[in-house]
Amino acid sequence: MKLHEYQAKELFAAVGIPIPFGVTARTPPEAAQAYEQVRRHGGGGAGFICNVKAQLHAGGRGKVGGVVAVRSAEEVSREAARLLGTRLVTKQTGPEGLPVSAVLVDERTPLASEWYFALTIDRFHARPMVLASRLGGMDIEEVAATQPAAIHREPVDLDRGLSNEAVNRVAGVFGCDAAQAKTVSAIARAMWRLFDTRDCSLIEINPLGVSRTDRRVLAVDAKVTLDDNALFRHPELAAMRDESQEHPLELQAGKIGISYVGLDGTIGCLVNGAGLAMATNDIIKLSGGSPANFLDVGGGANVEQVKNAFAIILSDPRVKAVLVNIFGGIMRCDWIAEGLLKATEQLEVTIPIVVRLQGTNVEEGRRLLAGAKRSLDSPVVSGVARDRPERVPRLGPRPRSGQVPSEVEARAERVEGRLNLISVDELAEAARKVVELAR
C-alpha cells in the first residue's frame, strides 16, 4: 500500500527525520490559507516562495507541472485550482494518469546538494537493502539505468539492523562533513526504525537535500510503501489508504482475496498459484501473444471467487480471449469448471475461453465442461482443438423433449449462444490457441 508524500512525511516527523514545514490542502481556499501558515512559520514577508505539490502515487510530477513554485496566496490558489480534480499524467502513471485530490504546500528550500537515500527489500537475497547515491533528484531513474555504479548498495542484517559501519559508508557516499554525517546517521537509524516497526517495503527520500543557506539536511520528498499483508497490525496506517490512486480492478480483486495485476495485453489469464501464473504469462509471450493481467485465484478459492475472478478479467475491455490454466492441488478442477459456468450464466461472455485443467478432480471438471458443451450451439472443442471455433459444428444434440437436463446443462442452456469454450490438455497448445483467438 502506497502513501502520499504528506502522509509519508507525517511518519518521518514522528521518528525525527527532518522535513520542510508544510500544510495539506484539498481546495483552493485551503491552499491559500496553507501558504499563509507556511509563510508565517518561515518568517517570510511578501514574495515568500513555497511549493505547491500535487499528491498522487507516482513520481515524475515536477516534469509535468505537478510541482510549482509560488510567491503569493493568490498564486497558490490559482495553481491548486489548476491541479485539484484533474488527472495528472507522468511517466509512471500510464496514459490515463492519476487523480489529484490534495496538494501539499511546503517550504521551498534552495539546495546545495541532492542525494538519493532509500530502504527497500532485496528480493534476490531476501533481506533489507539501503540504496544511496550522490546523484539524487528527478533523474534518478536515468542514473540507475546508465550509471548503476553510482548507486551504493548496503545490505542490512535483520537481527542487528543498521550497523555503525554501514551508516559510515553511506555518509561517505554522500561526501558529508562531520555535522552532516551526524544528521545522516540519525536519519538512517530513524528510517530503519520506521521500516522495521511499521512493516514497510520501501522508504525513499529523493532528494535528501542539503540547504544552501544553513547547510541543514532535509527529506525534501518522501515515499513510503507498506506491506499489505501486515496492515492488520497497523489499523491507523490502513486508514491512510487512498483507493482513488489504485487500479479499479486490482482494488476489486484485493477485496475478495484475489491477486490481480493489470497489464497491457489482450489475453486474460486465470491461474492458481503465483509461479504458474508467471509461467503462463511467459508462455503466452513466447507464443506471440500479450497477457492482459496476472491473476492468481489462490489455492483455496471457492466457486464464487472463481466467478468473481472471471468478472474482473472480463471487465477489462482490452481482453479478447481468456486462458484458464489450473493445476489442481488444493484447488479442485471441478470448482473451476463450476465457477466458469456460473460466470457465463451471469455475465455477458462474448469472447472465447481456452481451458486447460490438470490435477485434483480433473475428470469431474472436464465432465462439467462437456455437459455444457452438449447443450450449447456455440462451438466447444474437447481435447486439442484443430480448427477455428467458428468452423466447428455443434457437438451433440440438445436434450430430447421430456428429458430432464442436468443442473449444469440447464445452466448452459440459459446462456446458449454466448459460451465459446475450448478445452485443451497441453499448456503449449492452449497458449497457441488463445493467442490465435485473440488476434
Residues 6 or more apart in contact with residue 286 via CB below 8 angstroms: 431
Angstrom CA distances, 383 to 289, 327, 423, 424, 430, stand at 22, 16, 6, 5, 10
Amino acid at 321: A
Q: Which of 204, 338, 345, 409 is catalytic?
A: 204
* β-strand partners of 294: 261
Q: Which of 116, 338, 345, 409 is catalytic?
A: 116
Maximal C-alpha separation, the chain? 92
Q: How far apart are CA 405 and CA 235, in angstroms?
A: 51
Angstrom CA distances, 259 to 32, 256, 270, 323, 362, stand at 42, 9, 10, 16, 23
Three-class secondary structure of residue 21 per DSSP: coil
* β-strand partners of 49: none
Residues 6 or more apart in contact with residue 178 via CB below 8 angstroms: none
For residue 413 the three cell numbers come to 442452456
Q: Is 204 a catalytic residue?
A: yes
Contact 154, 129 (CB under 8 A): yes
Buried b (16+ CB within 10 A) or exposed e, 95-118: eeebbbbbbbbbbbbebebbbbbb
Q: Is 116 a catalytic residue?
A: yes
Angle among Cα 127, 133, 138 to the nearest 5 degrees reads 110
Known catalytic residues? 116, 204
